[in-house]
Structure 1
Amino acid sequence: MLRGINTLNLDAKGRMAIPSRYRERLLTQCEGQVVVTRDVRDPCLLLYPLPDWEVLERDLQNLKNVDPETRRYQRILIGHAADLEMDGNGRILLPPNLRKVVGLDKHIALVGQANKFEIWDEETWNKQCEEMLVSNGSPSEQLESLSL
């Protein structure tokens, strides 16, 4: 399970060090092979272990792309996807074009989401958290069924 929030720094080359508590899992699960892509809704990147990405990619490819929203998801998620590999020091080089499109500079937040990570600019993440905590929106039907 990929969970928790970690604040990290990108080095001058745009590399991110995967926290040690996740490294062994990524090495065991996918030999350090991951895929990073752009999120379809929020200004963040999504980082998937390769096996989890392959399932999502297959599901996306199997959708009929006559629907404009389906094509949009396919174009954003698959079109921006980049195959990456964790180096011997547990670092991943985030592509410059993806760092730029979501505004990643030096300070980032790595947010675990069970099967993937979200990678946010730290300041943007903090603002997002404030907005989420003050939101008074009604929970969806599927959220209503959870006992928190």
Structure 2
Amino acid sequence: MALFTSTHLNRLDKKGRVSVPALWRLGLAKNSFNGIVVLPSYRARAIEGCGYDRLERLNELLQTPGAMSDTARGHAEAMMAKVETLQFDTEGRVVLPRSLSEYAGIAGEALFVGLGPIFEIWEPGGHGRHYSSAEERARTDQPSLRDIGLMGPKT
């Protein structure tokens, strides 16, 4: 499973192609599909994305009776209906569908934001506004790696 970290600003060309960060492509190389999976975010005016392996896992869960609550199944089905698979070209670029670019307000530049097992693609200014409020909450709450379970139990 790919791990998406860091933040990368990439320019779209005239054809709507944008380069996916090289380290991310390397992490996705083991997948059965040579590309990424994207859909409109339900949380923000952004595009959510992941590797094809996560889409396959979601499909397995949908096929397994009792694996999900009815609410989770409804959300998963709504998301599956919106999924776009974007294949890498020889230079590691994908074409962002116009509908998704318009939804997220992406025109000249796209900001790729790693969130661990998934990533988001933002219009840079929109992400700046979103991130500022998230960072302010973090400053107030002062979380640490230990608080989010990465360093073992609190002592």
1:50: how far off? 0.6
Quote the Cα distance in structure 2 between the aligned partners of 1:73 and 1:138. 32
Does 18-27 or 120-129 show the bigger shift? Answer: 18-27
Assess if the C-alpha contact under 8 Å between 1:37 and 1:80 holds in 2: yes
SS of structure 2 residue aligned to 1:92: strand
SS of structure 2 residue aligned to 1:29: coil
TM-score (norm 2): 0.76
Assess if the C-alpha contact under 8 Å between 2:46 and 2:122 holds in 1: yes
Tell me what 2:74 maps to. 71
Aligned length: 142
Cα distance change, pair 104–145 in 1 and its aligned pair in 2 (3 A) = same
Q: Deviations over 1:80-135 (max 9, x none)?
A: 10112101010011111111112111122101122222111111111111111222
Q: Which runs of 5+ in 1 are unaligned?
A: none
Quote the Cα distance in structure 2 between the aligned partners of 1:59 and 1:43. 27
1:27: how far off? 2.6
Could you tell me which amino acid in structure 1 is paired with residue 77 of structure 2? Q
Tell me what 2:39 maps to. 37
Q: Deviations over 1:35-84 (max 9, x none)?
A: 1111221211112111122113433565454x4x7535532x21210112
Q: Which runs of 5+ in 2 are unaligned?
A: none
Quote the Cα distance in structure 2 between the aligned partners of 1:36 and 1:89. 19
Tell me what 2:17 maps to. 15
Tell me what 1:106 maps to. 108
Match of 2:122 among 117, 120, 123: 120
The root-mean-square deviation of aligned C-alpha atoms, in Å, is: 2.6
The percent identity for this pair of structures is: 22
Could you tell me which amino acid in structure 1 is paired with residue 132 of structure 2? E
